[in-house]
Each structure stands twice: as structure tokens, then as C-alpha cells.
Structure 1
Amino acid sequence: MAIIYREIEERDNKALAALIRTVFEEFKIDKPGTVYTDPTTDHLSEVFKTAQSVYWVAEEDGEIIGGCGIYPTDGLPDGCVELVKLYTSAAARGKGIGKILMQKSIESAQHFGYNEVYLESFPDLTTAISMYKKTGFKNLSAPLGNSGHFACNVWMLLVL
């Protein structure tokens, strides 16, 4: 069956929270100051009702296998949005699903009129960081905005 890409719905919350936390455990980055302990991880459909935000999910055979979105994080410069919560299940990796989710999010950022996309990550997530660099993201020396995810220590910016 084909993979369906669509915007988040309330029914996705539990599966997405479980997927995100599984990825964090897998990469041993399940610690405070990340989305792992962020209470909003359990109700993402509510979070993405915020204006100028969107969260895309990838679904295959009724199962959520990935997600990625953009969010106007507090404290970011005007015209800048954060690329957030890009995760795919272990079985979904290496198939271009994460890249499609990221591209849909970047296209949404352009649609909303943003001219920069910021992200935070971990050095352990080497495949994701490589994908970001190939997309045009550049490393920053310090974080932007107030995500609250103080444990992240890779910061990148894409100028659209």
C-alpha cells in the first residue's frame, strides 16, 4: 500500500508520541530538555493548531511511520520558523520518507511567507544532519529562539 502524507489529526497523538519517544530511546538521547520529556509531545495535534504552523505525518497501512512540522517558536527572528519533530520509525528509514516530510514542511514555511527555517538537533543523529546539510541548512554557533530544548546542541538555519 502507498504511503499517505497528510496533516496531523487528533487520532495521531498517541502513536506519534510513542514513535518520538522510541526514536529517542533508540539513539540514547532520552533525557530532560528534549521533546522526550516535553509534555506537549503527548498532544501534538493541539500544538499545531497554532497559526502559521503545520505538522505532516506519513502513514502506511494505517500506521504512523513518521512526522515533521514547522512551528513559530517564541523568540525567533521575524520571518523565521522552526523545523520541528522530524522523526521516522526504524523500518521507514532509508526510503526518503523523512526527506519528503522535511520538504513538505519547508514548502509550508514558504507558503506561510517565512524566509528562514531554523532547527535544533543532536550530533548523534548523523543521518538527519547530513540530510539537513544537503538541503542547504548551515550550522550556527548558538541557538535561536526559546524552544526550551536546552539539551540540543546542534543548531542550523536554512535561508529560503
Structure 2
Amino acid sequence: MTTTPARDPLPRAAGAFAIRPIEARDDAAVAAVIRAVMPEFGAVGDGFAINDPEVDWMHRAYSQPRSAYFVVERAGVVLGGGGVAPLAHGDSGTCELRKMYFLPEARGLGAGAAMIARCLEAARTLGFTRCYLETLCGMDAAIRLYERSGFVRLASPLGDTGHGGCNTFYLLDL
């Protein structure tokens, strides 16, 4: 796991949030966020991360080498998260931006841009040179965020994430 500061320094204004590395105590909250957000975008059934067993033990999953996961919290409540890990069946220089989801109350606060920045910083620290992600058409705000962050759309997927339900693919050179 990457070595990062425990918390980002943020103003204590209304709506302020903090991003920090996931802890074991966050597993249930992160699983609840993922399971609440994915159906909102029709991401249910086979081929989606909602059925991925790692959703229930994210801290352990992202304690693996070259992996990191962060949570967004406000007033001590986990409102979302995102992480990076090696791209399954990809080259050693490519990581995947994984399981980045936010509850509605975290949207529009800048949490998504801050989370991507934190994840990309971790990816660079972990030695990755490219970051890949998969998403769904219809997740328009997320797609705009990825494109503003420099991700470029690909015609087909990379690696083998096991999430065959995704239909939109992006890559960013770090």
C-alpha cells in the first residue's frame, strides 16, 4: 500500500470533506456506498463490481502490493471511495482506477476530482506509468470528470477486469 498522508488539508467550510486511506472499519460503509450507487446507473447483475466479493473486504483487498484505496468522508461519515490496483492481465506498468463511487451528497463538492488526483498520485508512487478505467455509458458526470482529468477514450477494453458489463474504456499516461 502506498504511503500517503493520513488526511488532505481542507478548509473546514460547509460541505468540506476529507480523503484518507481506507481502514478495516470502513469496509461495511464502502460496500454500502457501492451497493447503493451502482443500481442508480443500472449496474446490476453479472459483469458488474456490485457482485465482486472484494466489495465486502476492501481494506484487505487494497492492502495488496501496488494497491491503494481511499475514502471520502464528511463529518466522520464515509460518502464514497476510489482506488488503484494493478490491471488484471495487463502489463506491469498499467494500473486500474477501481471502484470509485460517491453517494449523491458527496457529488458536486469536488470530491471526484480530489479522489482522482489522490489515486493518480498513489499510482505514480506505486510505479505505474498508465492508468486504465472502465465505466458505463450513462454515467455522464463521471465520464466528464475522467475526460477533464486527461483520460482518453479507448475503442476496446484492456486486460481482464472481470466486469464485462462495462462498455466505456479510458486510459491516461501518467
TM-score by length of 2: 0.88
Give the one of 20, 23, 42 matched to 2:37. 23
What is the aligned partner in structure 2 of residue 98 from structure 1? 112
1:6-57 deviation per Cα after TM superposition (whole angstroms, max 9, x unaligned): 1011110111111011101222222211111111111111110111110011
| Pairing of 1:105-144 with structure 2 (within 5 A) | 105-144=119-158
User: How far apart in 1 are the matches of 2:172 and 2:90?
Assistant: 13
CA contact under 8 A between 1:21 and 1:30: conserved in structure 2? no
Task: Give the alignment's Cα RMSD to 1 decimal.
Answer: 1.1
Give runs of ≥4 in structure 1 deviating > 3 Å.
Answer: none
CA contact under 8 A between 1:80 and 1:118: conserved in structure 2? yes
TM-score by length of 1: 0.96
1:65-98 deviation per Cα after TM superposition (whole angstroms, max 9, x unaligned): 1101001122112311000111111011011001
1:93-119 deviation per Cα after TM superposition (whole angstroms, max 9, x unaligned): 011001101110001111112110000
5+ residue gaps, structure 2: 1-11
Which deviates more from structure 2 when the two are superposed, residues 77-86 or residues 25-34? 25-34
User: How far apart in 2 are the matches of 1:157 and 1:73?
Assistant: 12
What is the aligned partner in structure 1 of residue 6 from structure 2? none
CA contact under 8 A between 2:20 and 2:72: conserved in structure 1? yes
CA contact under 8 A between 1:66 and 1:98: conserved in structure 2? no
| Pairing of 1:32-47 with structure 2 (within 5 A) | 32-47=46-61
Identical amino acids, percent of aligned pairs: 37
